[in-house]
């Protein structure tokens, strides 16, 4: 059971959240991209071993979407941050 | 005096023990050596270990809250205890566990697992630095190895346990360690109190602990050696044997032979000898043992035989050990000793379980002859015997047992509980297995209740020996929680029965229950399935309910539909982007059915959304999709279109919805709301009216999920039951008939209406469902771009169609595959062209029918198909997906 740092509410239990996959996947202008680029937007996500910026929603709390760094090996959470704010540096540890 | 005598019953016989005993120590003092027989091979077995490592002495406890299968070595003796031995396999009781269990949650700076010397020292260090500390220990008393030896524990360490920033939990076992310093532990609070326990006290408390730092001070278990007939009662771990004799006063054993690979065996020999056991010899595989313990043995004039080890044992008439044969590792120069105790010291096996739960790999240290954990990060550290900090002069040799011939290997046991001998390991290796993970599954070694606490390292060592590899080249030890067996009831705590999961009911639920409706679980919702009259089964009830909806009037509780209140000046624009069809042009007071797609263009949810004000909409979603849709709306609003001024709120539970359905619903509606003009001209399809219904202000919508004339009455939730009862009263002479989810499904399927999640599985576009009419060509919306992708627009996609089986009384199972009719007599398997998604008997059609997804289905309407079932081949024809009222005339009454 993870503790997830909501940037609005602070650390809360994993059961209060829903996962939103990789963060910062830009929504392309649908009519200006090729099929290949569009398919890449729909289906392709990075799956690194290590730190990944992810999107989560605090469904059972403030209901807000936010971004957070998470280490996919250790499940350690790095800094979380609100949408449209500067992304903190990728954690080094 | 009576406090010093504990009466107990074991296998029907009466015994006496004393305070401080475990069931095992008391039985040993009562000379119970042959404890039970083994699970699969019926071999006599005795108590082997001291604590949770015990593989043989399993019992069922029949008194108190009872236990199905636990080692006798872990049961604290209480007066009146009744237990019986098990042959390796327990029976789950069929009675409910009525004991009380609870949970506690704690955050702490430091969690120390194990209150032996090293754990106590770690706790002292952290506590004195001002940190909050929880120290847990699974035994009846703290002190670990020192307590076994009855050595005094330094007073300054004991004092630490009483510090205000220290929580000391004895009889508490950490079951699992997880990410982020999360630990789950169970504290046994009452079993050791016997009959003195208060009934309101929780038997086991499950602790959920979050620690910034966890110190693993879990200690080590001794391991045995593998040789022929090493499993007889009277063959024991030497530390266990010495502790039973020295600490618990066991006088069963008159003579002993110690078989050792390290100096621990010598220390145990001294303890045995000092307590009156005649130690015949210390048999040491090492050639030149040295050290204080060796000197102590020599001082007691105990013979030391070097370069030899045990190779076989013999038994007395009861099956207990009577002789031991010692020889070189190759079996040369055998000698036989007559003895009733063979005490084995095969080296220490650190208790690495918890460390492996969080991904720490134990490393093989040849100097320790053990897998050790030497770990230090911000989150975790290890200390004590776990890190290989054994007694200063242990000097173990890496040795697991003598060379065995085939016959010896058949009776040289590696895992006592699984009855698995060394021969099984050879078979696994000969079958080509090398990895410990494969060998484990092939032999079942390490998979019993004790999870191989005494066999793990030996297994790796023996495989390595056979392959000429070091133990760590075989793989690494991996264990999984829980560390010991735990009652499910303890993990559940008080969250049992009704409290195990939230139950959502509508305001009308009590009426449904009183009407005798069986409930269908839809997510956490309880929905009435059907309303049987006396003597009716579901089939009969559903036919009657559907007929009432088609011919008279029927009523359904639609309160579970997801409802999202959406407000703000940009709501129309927002809905245009979310739905495939237009909403910004919808007139106030009108409803519209809409489809939502994911970015991949696949149908994601559907429902009717109503514009109740210029900037105010109420969206309905599928019952199961409400939470998912709300997350989805918020994601787009918050992360993609923050410029839109739109606010969403769930109002599912605030609004109760009663749908009255059927040709006579207009008459019923006019009775319920006398002031309302319910004529088709004044109140059109998809229109909403605000009016009093049975005296309650309501929003009435002309929405139909059956194709029939229908009115949906929406009121604040607390009036739901009142509206329902009014409907039943006012409609009594109209044959108003309550119906449940089953009839709802049939009615909508007859009309060809899809249910998202039944006709769809996330791979259907609106066009696949024949719903291209609802997809706007003028505007952009989420998922539209995907409709022109090659895969989405290709020919041959599965499309929604109807199926009519030739045999009208046969209901095709949902999920059944459909094949071309030309394949009727083909040899199985045949290629399928689609599958059935919904299938029911229909009162209206007087026959069975189905909806299906079939490749190129719409072009195939009229074609014959077969549905190959296990027992027969069903024949039928592809039809349109709408079975009744294609012209939509019924909805206006």
Q: Tell me what the mean pLDDT of segment B750-756 comes to.
A: 96
Are the C-beta atoms of A9 and A3 separated by less than 8 Å?
A: no
Distance from CA of B790 to the nearest CA of A (A): 8
In this predicted structure, the answer to whether residue A7 has a pLDDT above a threshold of 70 is: yes
Residues belonging to chain A: 93
Q: Which of A41, A76, A83 sits opposite B639 (nearest CB)?
A: A83
Q: Tell me what the mean pLDDT of segment A78-88 comes to.
A: 96
Q: Which of B634, B780, B789 sits opposite A38 (nearest CB)?
A: B789
Mutate which: A74, A78, A85, vs B, most B CBs within 10 A: A74
Q: Tell me what the mean pLDDT of segment B756-768 comes to.
A: 96
Q: Which of A1, A38, A74 sits opposite B785 (nearest CB)?
A: A38
**B759-798 residues labelled b (16+ CB within 10 A) or e (exposed):** bbeeebbbbbbbbeebbeeeeebbbbbbbebeebeeeebb
Are the C-beta atoms of B671 and B854 separated by less than 8 Å?
A: no
**3-state SS, residue B518:** coil
Q: Tell me what the mean pLDDT of segment B316-329 comes to.
A: 97
Are the C-beta atoms of B372 and B315 separated by less than 8 Å?
A: no
Going by CATH, does the domain composed of B562-650 fall within 3.40.1160.10? no
pTM over 0.80: yes
Tokens of B384: 């004590």
Q: Which of A38, A59, A83 sits opposite B631 (nearest CB)?
A: A59
- What CA–CA distances, in Å, run from B243 to B68, B142, B219? 27, 16, 16
A29 contact residues in B (CB cutoff 8 A): none
In this predicted structure, the answer to whether residue B194 has a pLDDT above a threshold of 70 is: yes
Q: Which of A42, A75, A84 sits opposite B786 (nearest CB)?
A: A42
Are the C-beta atoms of B493 and B454 separated by less than 8 Å?
A: no
Torsion of the alpha carbons at A8, A13, A14 and A17, rounded to the nearest 10: -40
pLDDT tens for residues B249-275? 999 999 999 999 999 999 999 999 999
| For B782, nearest residue in chain A (alpha carbons) | A30
What gap in Å lies between CA B891 and CA B712, rounded to an integer?
13
Q: Can you spell out the DSSP letters for B618-670?
A: EEEE-GGGHHHHHHHHHHIIIII-TTS--EEEE-TTTEEEEEEESTTHHHHHH
Q: Tell me what the mean pLDDT of segment B107-128 comes to.
A: 98
Mutate which: A57, A60, A84, A87, vs B, most B CBs within 10 A: A57
B357 contact residues in A (CB cutoff 8 A): none
* Residue B362: other Cβ atoms inside 10 A: 25
Residues ≥6 apart with Cβ < 8 Å to B63: B80, B81, B82, B83
User: For B29-36, which contacts have Cβ atoms below 8 Å and span 24 or more sequence positions?
Assistant: B29/B248, B29/B249, B29/B250, B29/B251, B29/B252, B31/B252, B33/B233, B33/B234, B33/B252, B33/B318, B33/B320, B33/B340, B34/B233, B34/B318, B34/B319, B34/B320, B35/B72, B35/B85, B35/B233, B36/B85, B36/B86, B36/B87, B36/B88
Q: Determine the straight-line distance between the first and last CA of chain B, rounded to whole angstroms.
A: 91
B182 contact residues in A (CB cutoff 8 A): 1
List the domains of chain A with CATH numbers: 3-81 (3.30.2270.10)
Q: How does DSSP classify residue B72?
A: G
pLDDT tens for residues B216-256? 999 999 999 999 999 999 999 999 999 999 999 999 999 99
What gap in Å lies between CA B85 and CA B69, rounded to an integer?
9
Distance from CA of A83 to the nearest CA of B (A): 6
Distance of CA B330 to the CA centre of its chain: 48
Tokens of B168: 């000391």
What gap in Å lies between CA B559 and CA B678, rounded to an integer?
23
Highest CATH level, class, for B2-85 = alpha beta
| For A17, nearest residue in chain B (alpha carbons) | B631
Q: Determine the straight-line distance between the first and last CA of chain A, rounded to whole angstroms.
A: 22
Going by CATH, does the domain composed of B96-221+348-392 fall within 3.30.70.250? no
In this predicted structure, the answer to whether residue B81 has a pLDDT above a threshold of 50 is: yes
pLDDT of residue B96: 86
In this predicted structure, the answer to whether residue B828 has a pLDDT above a threshold of 80 is: no
- Ranges of each domain in chain B: 2-85, 96-221+348-392, 224-346, 403-476, 509-559+655-747, 562-650, 795-890
Looking at domain B509-559+655-747, which CATH architecture does it have? 2-Layer Sandwich (3.30)
Q: How confident is the model at residue B397 (pLDDT cuts 50, 70, 90)?
A: very high
Q: How confident is the model at residue B423 (pLDDT cuts 50, 70, 90)?
A: very high
Q: How confident is the model at residue B23 (pLDDT cuts 50, 70, 90)?
A: very high
How many residue pairs bridge chain A and chain B with CB atoms within 8 Å of each other? Answer: 55
pLDDT tens for residues B544-590? 999 999 999 999 999 999 999 999 999 999 999 999 999 999 999 99
B780 contact residues in A (CB cutoff 8 A): 30-31
Side by side, the strands of the sheet bearing B342-345 are B235-237, B342-345, B255-260, B278-284, B304-306
Highest CATH level, class, for B224-346 = alpha beta
pLDDT of residue B475: 79
Tracing tokens 């620690």 back to the chain, one arrives at: B211
Q: Which residues of A touch B (CB under 8 A)?
A: 1-3, 18, 20, 27, 30-31, 33, 35, 38-39, 41-43, 55, 57, 59, 63-65, 74-77, 83-84
Tokens of B543: 């036919």
Provide CATH code, domain B403-476: 1.10.10
pLDDT tens for residues B292-320? 999 999 999 999 999 999 999 999 999 99
pLDDT of residue B473: 87
Distance from CA of A1 to the nearest CA of B (A): 7
The answer to whether the Cβ–Cβ distance between B182 and A20 falls below 8 Å is: no
Q: Identify how many contiguous H helices and E strands chain B contains and give both numbers.
A: 21, 47
Element (H or E) spanning B165, and its range?
none
Q: How would you class B565 by CB atoms within 10 Å of its CB: exposed for 0-12, middle for 13-18, buried for 19 or more?
A: middle
pLDDT of residue B474: 84
Q: How confident is the model at residue B3 (pLDDT cuts 50, 70, 90)?
A: low
Q: How does DSSP classify residue A14?
A: G
What gap in Å lies between CA B41 and CA B545, rounded to an integer?
62
Q: Tell me what the mean pLDDT of segment B102-131 comes to.
A: 97
| For A26, nearest residue in chain B (alpha carbons) | B640
Question: Of B113, B180, B546, nearest to A1 (Cα)?
Answer: B180
Tokens of B641: 């279109």
What gap in Å lies between CA B789 and CA B782, rounded to an integer?
14
Q: Tell me what the mean pLDDT of segment B690-703 comes to.
A: 97
Mean residue pLDDT of chain A comes to 94
Distance from CA of B566 to the nearest CA of A (A): 15
**3-state SS, residue B410:** helix
Mutate which: A31, A42, A49, vs B, most B CBs within 10 A: A42
* Residue B339: other Cβ atoms inside 10 A: 24
Question: Of B628, B510, B507, B618, nearest to B559 (Cα)?
Answer: B507
Tokens of B589: 């007071």
Q: Which of B208, B640, B785 sits opposite A31 (nearest CB)?
A: B785
Q: Can you spell out the DSSP letters for B228-251?
A: TTTTSTTEEEHHHHHHHHHTT---
What gap in Å lies between CA B433 and CA B454, rounded to an integer?
22
Q: Is the peptide bond before B829 cis (omega within 30 degrees of 0)?
A: yes
pLDDT of residue B348: 96
Mutate which: B175, B179, B360, vs A, most A CBs within 10 A: B179
Q: Can you spell out the DSSP letters for B799-857?
A: EEEEEEESSTT--PPTT-EEEEGGGTTSPSS--EEEEEEEEEEETTTTEEEEEEEEETG
The CA-CA-CA angle for residues B891, B892, B893, to 5°, reads 95
Residues ≥6 apart with Cβ < 8 Å to B277: B245, B253, B254, B255, B256, B341
Tokens of B501: 């999961």
What gap in Å lies between CA B641 and CA B543, rounded to an integer?
48
H-only helix segments in B683-777? 720-730, 741-750
Mean residue pLDDT of chain B comes to 95
What gap in Å lies between CA B386 and CA B690, rounded to an integer?
74
pLDDT tens for residues B31-45? 999 999 999 999 999
The answer to whether the Cβ–Cβ distance between A63 and B635 falls below 8 Å is: no
**B342-351, B355-364, B864-873, range with the lowest pLDDT:** B864-873
pLDDT tens for residues A27-82? 999 999 999 999 999 999 999 999 999 999 999 999 999 999 999 988 999 999 99
A43 contact residues in B (CB cutoff 8 A): 600
Return the percentage of chain B with pLDDT > 70, whole number.
100
The answer to whether the Cβ–Cβ distance between A42 and B635 falls below 8 Å is: no
Beta bridge partners of B468: none
Distance from CA of A10 to the nearest CA of B (A): 15
Tokens of B728: 């039943």
- What CA–CA distances, in Å, run from B534 to B510, B515, B528, B843? 19, 11, 16, 20
**3-state SS, residue B699:** strand
| For A29, nearest residue in chain B (alpha carbons) | B785
Q: How confident is the model at residue B1 (pLDDT cuts 50, 70, 90)?
A: very low
| For B643, nearest residue in chain A (alpha carbons) | A84
Q: Is the peptide bond before B482 cis (omega within 30 degrees of 0)?
A: yes
The answer to whether the Cβ–Cβ distance between B599 and A41 falls below 8 Å is: yes
What gap in Å lies between CA B739 and CA B828, rounded to an integer?
42
Distance from CA of B376 to the nearest CA of A (A): 14
The answer to whether the Cβ–Cβ distance between A76 and B180 falls below 8 Å is: yes
Q: Tell me what the mean pLDDT of segment B395-405 comes to.
A: 96
Q: How confident is the model at residue B199 (pLDDT cuts 50, 70, 90)?
A: confident
Q: How confident is the model at residue A92 (pLDDT cuts 50, 70, 90)?
A: confident
The answer to whether the Cβ–Cβ distance between A30 and B784 falls below 8 Å is: yes
Question: Of B73, B53, B50, B92, nearest to B417 (Cα)?
Answer: B53
In this predicted structure, the answer to whether residue B374 has a pLDDT above a threshold of 80 is: yes
Pick the CATH number of B795-890 from 2.40.50.100, 3.30.300.90, 1.20.140.10, 2.40.30.110: 2.40.30.110
pLDDT of residue A30: 92
pLDDT tens for residues B40-62? 999 999 999 999 999 999 999 99
Tokens of B625: 């999709």
- What CA–CA distances, in Å, run from B795 to B72, B599, B767, B855, B858? 69, 21, 12, 9, 11
Distance of CA B382 to the CA centre of its chain: 29
Q: Identify how many contiguous H helices and E strands chain A contains and give both numbers.
A: 1, 6
**3-state SS, residue B540:** helix
What gap in Å lies between CA B757 and CA B780, rounded to an integer?
25
């Amino acid at each position: 059971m993870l503790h997830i740092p909501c940037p609005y509410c602070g650390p809360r239990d994993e059961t209060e959240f829903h996962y939103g996959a990789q963060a910062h996947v830009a929504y392309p202008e649908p009519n200006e991209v090729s099929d290949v680029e569009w398919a890449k937007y729909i289906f392709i996500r990075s799956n690194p071993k290590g730190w990944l910026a992810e999107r989560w929603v605090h469904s059972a709390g403030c209901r807000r979407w936010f971004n957070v760094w998470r280490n996919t090996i250790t499940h350690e959470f790095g800094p979380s941050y609100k949408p449209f704010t500067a992304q903190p540096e990728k954690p080094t540890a | 005096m009576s406090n010093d005598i504990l009466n107990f019953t074991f296998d029907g016989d009466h015994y006496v023990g004393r305070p401080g005993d475990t069931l095992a120590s008391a039985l040993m003092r009562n000379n119970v050596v042959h404890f039970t027989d083994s699970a699969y091979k019926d071999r006599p077995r005795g108590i082997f270990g001291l604590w949770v490592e015990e593989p043989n002495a399993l019992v069922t406890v029949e008194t108190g809250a009872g236990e199905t299968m636990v080692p006798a070595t872990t049961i604290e003796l209480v007066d009146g205890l009744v237990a019986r031995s098990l042959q390796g396999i327990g029976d789950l009781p069929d009675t409910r566990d009525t004991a009380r269990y609870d949970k506690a949650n704690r955050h702490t700076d430091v969690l120390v697992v194990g209150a032996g010397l090293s754990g106590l020292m770690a706790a002292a260090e952290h506590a004195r630095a001002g940190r909050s500390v929880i120290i847990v220990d699974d035994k009846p008393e703290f002190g670990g190895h020192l307590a076994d030896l009855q050595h005094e524990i330094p007073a300054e360490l004991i004092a630490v346990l009483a510090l205000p920033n220290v929580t000391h939990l004895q009889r508490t076992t950490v079951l699992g360690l997880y990410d982020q310093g999360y630990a789950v532990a169970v504290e046994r609070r009452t079993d050791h109190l016997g009959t003195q326990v208060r009934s309101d006290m929780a038997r086991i408390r499950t602790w959920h602990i979050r620690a910034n730092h966890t110190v693993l001070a879990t200690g080590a278990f001794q391991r045995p050696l593998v040789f022929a007939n090493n499993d007889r009662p009277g063959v024991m771990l030497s530390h266990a044997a010495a502790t039973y004799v020295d600490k618990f006063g066991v006088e069963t054993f008159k003579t002993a032979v110690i078989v050792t690979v390290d100096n621990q065996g010598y220390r145990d020999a001294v303890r045995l000898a000092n307590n009156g056991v005649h130690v015949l010899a210390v048999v040491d595989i090492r050639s030149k043992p040295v050290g204080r313990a060796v000197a102590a043995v020599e001082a007691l004039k105990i013979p030391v035989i070097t370069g030899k080890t045990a190779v076989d044992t013999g038994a007395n008439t009861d099956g207990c050990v009577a002789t031991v044969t010692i020889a070189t590792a190759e079996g040369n120069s055998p000698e036989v000793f007559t003895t009733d105790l063979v005490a084995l010291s095969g080296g220490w096996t650190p208790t690495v379980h918890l460390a492996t739960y969080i991904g720490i790999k134990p490393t093989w240290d040849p100097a320790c002859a053990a897998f050790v954990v030497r770990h230090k990060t911000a989150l975790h550290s290890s200390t004590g015997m776990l890190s290989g900090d054994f007694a200063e002069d242990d000097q173990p040799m890496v040795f697991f047992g003598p060379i065995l011939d085939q016959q010896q290997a058949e009776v040289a046991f590696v895992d006592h509980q699984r009855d698995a001998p060394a021969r099984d390991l050879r078979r696994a290796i000969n079958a080509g297995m090398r990895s410990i993970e494969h060998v484990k599954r092939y032999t079942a070694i390490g998979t019993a209740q004790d999870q191989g606490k005494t066999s793990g390292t030996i297994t790796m060592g023996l495989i390595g020996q056979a392959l000429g590899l070091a133990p760590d080249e075989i793989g690494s030890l991996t264990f999984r929680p829980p560390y010991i067996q735990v009652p499910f009831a303890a993990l559940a705590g008080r969250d049992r029965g009704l409290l195990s999961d939230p139950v959502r009911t509508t305001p009308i639920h009590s009426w449904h229950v009183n009407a005798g409706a069986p409930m269908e679980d839809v997510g956490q919702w309880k929905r009435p399935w059907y309303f049987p009259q006396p003597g009716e089964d579901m089939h009969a009830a559903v036919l009657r309910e559907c007929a009432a909806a088609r011919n008279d009037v029927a009523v359904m509780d639609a309160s579970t539909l997801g409802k999202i209140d959406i407000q703000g000046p940009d709501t129309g624009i927002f809905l245009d982007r979310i739905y495939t069809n237009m909403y910004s042009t919808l007139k106030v007071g009108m409803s519209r059915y809409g489809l939502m797609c994911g970015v991949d263009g696949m149908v994601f949810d559907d429902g009717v959304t109503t514009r109740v004000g210029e900037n105010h909409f109420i969206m309905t979603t599928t019952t199961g999709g409400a939470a998912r849709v709300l997350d989805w709306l918020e994601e787009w609003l918050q992360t993609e279109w923050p410029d839109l001024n739109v606010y969403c709120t769930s109002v599912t539970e605030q609004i109760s919805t009663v749908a009255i359905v059927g040709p006579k619903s207009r008459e019923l509606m006019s009775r319920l709301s006398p002031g309302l003009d319910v004529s088709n001209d004044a109140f059109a399809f998809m229109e909403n009216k605000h009016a009093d219904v049975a005296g309650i202000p309501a929003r009435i919508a002309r929405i139909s999920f059956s194709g029939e004339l229908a009115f949906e009455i929406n009121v604040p939730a607390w009036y739901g039951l009142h509206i329902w009862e009014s409907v039943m009263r006012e409609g009594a002479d109209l044959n108003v008939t309550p119906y449940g989810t089953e009839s709802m499904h049939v009615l909508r399927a007859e009309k060809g209406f899809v249910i998202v999640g039944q006709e769809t599985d996330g791979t259907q576009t609106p066009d696949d469902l024949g719903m291209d009419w609802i997809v706007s060509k003028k505007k952009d919306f989420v998922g539209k771009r995907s409709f022109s992708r090659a895969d989405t627009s290709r020919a041959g996609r599965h499309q929604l169609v109807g199926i009519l089986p030739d045999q009208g009384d046969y209901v095709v199972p949902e999920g059944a595959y459909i094949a071309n009719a030309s394949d009727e007599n083909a040899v199985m398997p045949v290629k399928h062209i689609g599958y059935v998604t919904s299938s029911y008997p229909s009162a209206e059609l007087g026959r069975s029918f189905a909806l299906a997804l079939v490749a190129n289905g719409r072009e195939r309407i009229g074609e014959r198909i077969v549905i190959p079932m296990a027992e027969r081949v069903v024949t039928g024809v592809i039809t349109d997906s709408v079975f009744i009222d294609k012209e939509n005339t019924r909805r206006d009454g």
